[in-house]
Structure 1
C-alpha cells in the first residue's frame, strides 16, 4: 500500500501544481511529463530487462511522424492521427526487435543505434514529405480532440498528466506481474531463466514492443501538444537523453525516469542562466552524481532507506 500511495501521491501533487505554477514552470512541467513518459518506456527495456538500446529515438520519432504526417498530408483528425502514431511505433519496435534481438550485448547496442540512424536519414531523404531538418508545424486548428484545444496551456498540461499517469500505471503493473518479474530475472541471470523453461526471446520481444510503443506514444503526444515534428527528435541525441534520464533517476525504478528527467531539465535550464558554458556545469554535476550516487537518485533511496521501492 505504501508503494501505491507514493505513486498516487505524486500524481496528486502534479495535478495540484497545475493551479499554482507560474506560466513558465507550468509549460516546463507539461514538457517534462511527456519526456518522462518517453523515459519510462526506455526504462522497461534498459532498467528492467537489461537491454541497452541506443536507438529509442527511432520509436519516439515513429510515433511523432506517424501522427504528424497523418495530419499534415492525410487530413486526419487529431485522435485518429494519435492512434496512427502509436500503431507506427508498435510496428517499428516489433520489426526492429525481431532483427536486433538476434544479437546480444554490445552488438545489440550497435544494431539499435544503426537502425535509429537509418530512420533519421530516411526522414532527411524524404524531405518533400517530412520537411527534413526544418520539420513542420502542426496547425492549432488540427490539435483538437473532442472539441478540446490541446494548444491551450491548461488542456496541454492535463493531457500530459494523463499520458504520464497511464505510463506510470502501466509500468507499475507490468513489473509486478509475472511477465515483469520474468524480465527482471532475465536481467539478473538470463541463462538460469532459460534453464527454468522460459522463452527469453519472447519475453524480450514483448518488452521491446511495450517499451517502443510507450516511447512512440510519448513522441506522438509531444508533437500534438507542442505542435511540431522535426528530424532532430530522431537524432542520436534523443536516444542518449532517455538513457541519461534513467541513469540519473535510477534504472529499474518506476519513479526514476520522472526524477531524472525533472532533475536534468532544470539543471540545464538553471545553469544556462548562469553561463554560456552551461553544459560544463551540467557535466560536473552528472559526474559527481555518478561517483556518489551510482544507482541514481531513486536507486540510492531504495538502497539506503526503502528496500521495497519498485
Structure 2
C-alpha cells in the first residue's frame, strides 16, 4: 500500500470512527469527546506554529480567547446570530494573530517565547480590566436561544457533538492538505534549517507570519466554537494555563504530526479524568505519567509511531 493510501486510510478511518461514536457513546463520554475534538482543533492550530514551523509560543491563549470573546461579545451585546458571530471570532483571531506576529517575529528563540507570553498576559489583563463587559473571571453564559445556528440548536448534545466533529474534521483535513503542499514543506524547511531556507530564496519572515496568522485563526475558531457549543465565555480561557495546555497536548501526541494533537488531547483529558476519580492528588499521577512519557517517548505517541512503524506518517 502506498503512503498516500495509508494516509487516507488512517485519517479517514479516524474520522469515520469519531462519526460513528456520535451514535454509540453513552452521554458522559459523548460530551467528553465533543469537548476533546474542539480542544484538539485548538492543538492543531498550535501545532502549525510549534510542530511544523518550530516556533515555541507561550501565548496561544490570546488567540483562543480572541475567538471566544469575538464571538461571545457579538452575540451578547450586538445581538448577532451564531453564524456572523463565529465569523467575528475568526476575524478577531486573525487580526490579533497578525498584529502579534508582526511584532513578535522581530525576535527569535527564547525571546519569541517570552514576547508571546507577555502579549497573552496583556490580553488576559485586558479582559479583566473591561470586566463591565466581559464579566472577568465570572464570565457570562450564552442562553439556549442564542446558540441556534441555521435552525440547529447547538445546546442539544447530539448537535453539539457533530458540530465539534465538523470543526475537527475541517481542521484535520486542512492541515493534512497543508503538509503536502509547498507551503507546508517550506515551513518544515524553516523548522529544520532557517538559514538554509533563507539562502534558497524563501522569504522566511513572510512564511513565519503566515504560519502565525493561520495558527492563530484556527485557534480562534476553536475558541469561538467552544464558547458557542458549551455556552460559556470566561477569562479563564485567556489565562496562562490555556497557553500551556496546547503545548502539552502537542508534545504528548507528537509535534509535527497531523494526528498528534488529537492523540495528546485525548490522552491528557482522560488521564486527568481517570486519576481524579482515584485521588484528590490526581495531578501527581498525571505528572508522573508525563515524566515517564517524556523519558521513554520523547517524540510523543504519534512521533514514536512514526519512528518505529511508519516513517512516512505525516
TM-score computed with the length of structure 2 as normaliser? 0.98
Deviation string, structure 1 residues 91-134 (Cα, Å, up to 9, x no partner): 00011000000000000000000000000000000000000110
Q: Distance in 1 between matches of 2:280 and 2:137?
A: 25
Secondary structure at the aligned position of 2:137 is classed as helix
The aligned counterpart of 2:147 is 143
The aligned counterpart of 2:38 is 34
The aligned counterpart of 1:107 is 111
> Cα distance, 1:239 vs. partner?
0.1
Deviation string, structure 1 residues 11-54 (Cα, Å, up to 9, x no partner): 00000001110000000000000000000000000000000000
Q: Distance in 2 between matches of 1:85 and 1:198?
A: 31
- Structure 1 stretches of 4+ with a deviation exceeding 4 A read none
> Cα distance, 1:4 vs. partner?
1.3
Q: Distance in 1 between matches of 2:25 and 2:135?
A: 35
1:72 and 2:76 are equivalent in the alignment: yes
The aligned counterpart of 1:17 is 21
Deviation string, structure 1 residues 137-157 (Cα, Å, up to 9, x no partner): 011100011100000000000
1:280 and 2:284 are equivalent in the alignment: yes
Structure 1 unaligned residues grouped into runs of 5+: none
The aligned counterpart of 1:130 is 134
Q: Distance in 1 between matches of 2:158 and 2:227?
A: 17
Q: Distance in 1 between matches of 2:164 and 2:153?
A: 13
> Cα distance, 1:5 vs. partner?
1.4
Q: Distance in 1 between matches of 2:26 and 2:273?
A: 16
> What is the Cα-based RMSD across aligned positions, in Å?
0.4
Secondary structure at the aligned position of 1:19 is classed as helix
The aligned counterpart of 1:43 is 47
Q: Distance in 2 between matches of 1:265 and 1:303?
A: 25
Aligned residues: 310
